[in-house]
Amino acid sequence: MIIRRPQPDDQPVGIGPPRFTLRTLLLIVTLAGCLFGVMSALGTMWSMGMLMILCLIFAHVAGNSLGTTLRDQATRHAADERRERLLANPIALARPEAPVPGQLTKSSRLNRVTLLMTAGGAIVGGAFGGTLSARLYPEAGIAALVLGVVSAAVLGGFVGFTVSAFISVARAALGEALRNCDPATGRFSKPR
């Protein structure tokens, strides 16, 4: 029975399991032990803060590494597919087909509805936030109430902007899709 070794081209596209040596594993265990020792000396609150910062750093490094690896593999895979397509159809090499960008790729100013919903969200958030914070904390001073009103107004404005921007983009995307739809067949054509 002859067993063929897999070639690099036979490997599936994707990320394999992480690879590390025994030395790396022992280094990680040592660092974890040192971290736990420092955390026991610092106390619960400082330990949680330090652990959260370390988790953020680890997530950024892991995400960067994963994204770079996936991007490189996707680029290599796309180049291989393009090369195979061009070899199969040499006429496609003569006239490449470029997609026409849609309206969503163009920048535009914010419309009045977005600005009004942002301002309305800030006003409603400030009013409800001020009323609620005054009712929940009657012993709070005026500075604390002002801070509560401003914070609630910022959050209300953010929610108003998010909702109106989502609706605006969804309307534009739906309008663009319907312009490219053939009513007789219900199928979408290429953007004009």
pLDDT of residue 29 exceeding 90, the answer is yes
User: What is the pLDDT of the chain when averaged over all its residues?
Assistant: 80
- Cβ-based neighbour number of residue 159 at 10 Å: 16
pTM over 0.85: no
Q: What three-state secondary structure class fits 3?
A: coil
Q: For a pLDDT cut of 90, what percent of the chain falls above it?
A: 35
CA atoms within 13 A on the CB side of 182: 6
pLDDT of residue 60 exceeding 90, the answer is yes
Sign of CA dihedral 27, 28, 30, 34: positive
Report DSSP state, residue 181.
B
pLDDT per position as a tens digit, 114-159: 899 999 999 999 999 888 888 888 898 888 888 889 999 999 999 9
pLDDT at 103: 66
CA distance 62 to 74: 18
Q: Which of 7-21, 111-125, 171-185 has the lowest mean pLDDT?
A: 7-21
pLDDT of residue 4 exceeding 60, the answer is no
pLDDT per position as a tens digit, 70-81: 887 777 777 777
pLDDT at 16: 72
Map out the domains of the chain as residue ranges.
20-94, 103-179
Mean pLDDT along residues 56-74: 87
